[in-house]
């Protein structure tokens, strides 16, 4: 074959090779970011995660009054500190109670938790509230808010998070998406299991989460209860798998529980 013909074919082969490499890179990026969000979440800098948590918390607080009360706040913070320690969370968890009638609690990026008045009013006692808080603490330990956001926004979030101009990023778009996201069934099941384990490791009763599921599963007609169960595994299944134990001390004293219940009083 003439050497001139070989030279003409070489560029074509090189171009096809680069196309193949590019397609392979896209496939790998898809698998790592969409299918393995925990790997991509590890690329998110802590400062970005905290800025995103600031944005989401501000969005929630703008719409709802923050409930105050030194006794109740201190009691919840002390309880959460015990759970966070059991979960191996190094940073303090910022906990805010808001005057919202929904039966729910939110975990935000940057080790943050928002508890709604409707949840405090609905639970059957401090141990049930502790069960829900332990579940949310597991979401924090697993970095589920960021993992869910990575799964939703993929490469865009990772590229922005590791970019040079992080100070100029509009966090509101990511924050709005995060508030609309729900965790996968696998994330919820893992949070249930580990939440019970955190309660036991803290020396607390660990049957409160199952009792909470059992109460919601009775279907007493309160439509607010669906907020906590939206897109989650079936309530009866969660109750059966996470019964815990009545052994251990109560999450709060009677005086502390009364202070928590009065936090949102006008």
Strands (E), 117-164: none
Domain that includes residue 44, residue range: 36-261
Total domains in the fold of the chain: 1
Stated as kind and residue range, the H or E segment containing 195 is: helix 185-201
Question: How do residues 37-96 score in pLDDT, each as one tens digit?
Answer: 566 666 677 787 888 888 888 888 888 899 988 899 999 999 999 999 999 999 999 999
Domain membership flag for residue 44: yes
Q: Tell me how far apart the alpha carbons of residues 216 and 209 are, in angstroms, rounded to a whole number.
A: 11
Domain membership flag for residue 23: no
Domain membership flag for residue 1: no
Domain membership flag for residue 210: yes
- How would residue 105 be classed by pLDDT, with cut points 50, 70 and 90? very high
Task: Count Cβ neighbours within 10 Å for each residue of 185-216 and write b for 16 or more, e otherwise.
Answer: eebbbbbbebbbbbbbbbebbbbbbbbbbbbb
Burial class (CB in 10 A: 0-12, 13-18, 19+), 69: middle
Residue pair 179/98 in contact by the 8 Å Cβ criterion:
no
Burial class (CB in 10 A: 0-12, 13-18, 19+), 221: exposed
Domain membership flag for residue 19: no
Question: Residue 231's pLDDT is what?
Answer: 46
């Amino acid at each position: 074959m003439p050497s001139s013909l070989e030279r003409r074919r070489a560029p074509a082969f090189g171009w096809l090779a680069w196309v193949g490499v590019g397609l392979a890179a896209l496939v790998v990026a898809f698998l790592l970011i969409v299918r393995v969000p925990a790997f991509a979440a590890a690329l998110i800098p802590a400062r970005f995660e905290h800025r995103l948590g600031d944005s989401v918390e501000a969005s929630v607080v703008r719409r709802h009054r923050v409930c105050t009360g030194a006794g109740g706040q201190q009691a919840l913070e002390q309880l959460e500190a015990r759970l966070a320690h059991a979960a191996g969370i190094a940073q303090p968890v910022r906990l805010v109670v808001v005057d919202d009638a929904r039966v729910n609690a939110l975990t935000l990026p940057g080790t943050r938790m928002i508890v709604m008045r409707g949840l405090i009013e609905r639970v059957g006692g401090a141990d049930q509230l502790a069960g829900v808080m332990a579940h949310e603490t597991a979401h924090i330990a697993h970095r589920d808010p960021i993992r869910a956001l990575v799964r939703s926004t993929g490469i865009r979030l990772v590229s922005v998070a590791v970019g040079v101009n992080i100070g100029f990023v509009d966090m509101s778009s990511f924050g709005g998406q995060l508030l609309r996201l729900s965790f996968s069934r696998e994330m919820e099941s893992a949070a249930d299991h580990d939440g019970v384990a955190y309660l036991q490791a803290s020396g607390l009763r660990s049957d409160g989460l199952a009792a909470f599921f059992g109460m919601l599963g009775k279907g007493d007609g309160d439509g607010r209860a669906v907020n906590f169960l939206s897109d989650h595994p079936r309530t009866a299944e969660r109750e059966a798998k996470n019964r815990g134990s009545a052994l251990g001390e109560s999450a709060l004293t009677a005086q502390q529980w009364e202070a928590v219940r009065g936090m949102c009083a006008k």
